[in-house]
Structure 1
């Protein structure tokens, strides 16, 4: 893993966006990363109905998500808001 990109052990479910956000930091810049509920459900091959289930699925996939986010950050694949989106 690239030590230039750091991930805090923080995550937040956003009901409106139907996605979990988690922060990354690169060269002092804070980058918001998002993973969609659809991606989490596809990875776990099940449907989640509560915030607790969604965050548990996120925790189970955290390492893979950080790897994906890191690659997207290195590729500068930011959306219009400057965020990284997975799924």
Structure 2
């Protein structure tokens, strides 16, 4: 893992966006990363309805999500808001 990109042990469910938010930091800049509910549901092949289940699924896949986000940050695949979106 690239030590220039750090991930905080924080994750927040955003019901408006239907996605989990997890922050990264690169060279002092804070980068907001998102993983969609649909990505999480595809990963475990079942629906997720409760926030606690969504966050538990995120936690179980955190390493893979951080690796995906790291690649996207390195390749500068930011959305129009400057965020990284997975799924």
TM-score by length of 2: 0.99
* Number of residue equivalences: 87
Q: Does 2:25 correspond to 1:36?
A: no
TM-score (norm 1): 0.99
Cα distance in 2, alignment partners of residues 35 and 81 from structure 1: 15
Distance 2:81 2:53 in 1: 28
CA-atom RMSD in angstroms: 0.3
The answer as to 2:40 corresponding to 1:58 is no
Alpha-carbon separation, structure 1, partners of 2:60 and 2:5: 20
**Structure 1 residue 29: Cα displacement:** 0.1
CA distance in 1, matches of 2:67, 2:4: 13
Structure-1 separation of matches of 2:85 and 2:20: 10
Unaligned runs of 5+ in 2: none
Partner SS state of residue 31, structure 2:
strand
Say which SS state the counterpart of residue 82 (structure 1) adopts: coil
Structure 1 unpaired stretches of 5+:
none
- Write the distance in 2 (CA, Å) between the matches of 1:77 and 1:49: 29
